[in-house]
Amino acid sequence: MCKFCYKHGGGKKWYLNERNLSVKLAKELGYEVWELDHWKLIDKVYGDAAKTLSDVFDDPNLLEPTKKMIEAMIQKDEGTRVFPEGHLGQVITVEEAKKVVEISGEIYRVMCPCRWMNRNEKVYTCMPLGLHGETARVFPDHAPNGVEILSVEEAKAFLDECDEKGLVHTIAGTPLPFAFALCNCEYPECIALRPRIDFNVHHLLKGHYVAFLDIDKCIGCGSCVIRCQFGAATLRPTMEKAYIDPWKCFGCGVCRAACPEGAITLVPRENIPALKEEW
């Protein structure tokens, strides 16, 4: 497990610890004001972040200094924090997302701010949890059709739909150990995925699993290659088979959902000595 699971997981993964998903914890930590500020300023925060990413992408000279600055703020061990401890979230599988739903109980769904800001698309794929969802009701601009409340079964069915579409599931933890939202998004619009993929900023952790390809079952159709947002899946023309680079794999499982032959499975990262500390 990652060090955050040992510290905040209570024997489980940090985002599957019931306490870290509770409204009680959020209120104990005094996050009510943080929640209000998050929704109130989300247009500016996401808009500025998207603009900054574009500027950085256009100027290679800004890449490394920006990366170092962000990581220094996030990974700061003591003193006043601008960002939360260690990371802003982690990639998870659809099965783990469903477990989060089961623990949380009531799930909310609102418009994805990433795609709204970057593509001007109003897509309801963002799933705030607990207090984060309750607070969203105060700001109807982020849910023009109203904040939707999903039952556990409705939320699970929706997560399956996202998985089939190739959306990556992430759990947002800001500030840790509070897990405040399930995001179902895609590169390059996602404000969580893009800095890690383009700039290798360690603000978003890899998942606890790694995709394994059964070469005998693979027919070389390329479905996994098309779906993989992390560049881990490629086709080997001479073998007419796919290849999944375990060092690049984030363990999201999107390739698994796309494979028509069921040739891809997910194995625990901790079972692979060379990768168990690669987050």
- 95-133, pLDDT tens digit by residue? 999 999 999 887 899 988 888 877 888 899 999 988 888
The residue extents of the domains of the chain are 3-205, 209-269
Write the DSSP string, 207-226: -SEEEEE-TTT-----HHHH
Burial class (CB in 10 A: 0-12, 13-18, 19+), 160: middle
Mean pLDDT, rounded, of the chain: 85
Q: Is 19 within 8 Å of 26 (Cβ atoms)?
A: no
Confidence of residue 81 (pLDDT cuts 50, 70, 90): very low
Q: Which value, to the nearest 10 degrees, does the dihedral of the CA atoms of residues 192, 194, 195, 197 take?
A: 120
Task: Give this prediction's pTM.
Answer: 0.88
Query: In CATH, what is the architecture of 209-269?
Result: 2-Layer Sandwich (3.30)
Give the residue-averaged pLDDT of 215-219: 97
Cα 258 off chain centre by = 19
Q: Is 208 within 8 Å of 1 (Cβ atoms)?
A: yes
Residue-level pLDDT at 246: 97
Token pair belonging to 175: 């500030």
Q: What is the pLDDT of residues 2-34, one digit of tens each?
A: 777 877 788 889 899 998 888 888 888 777 877
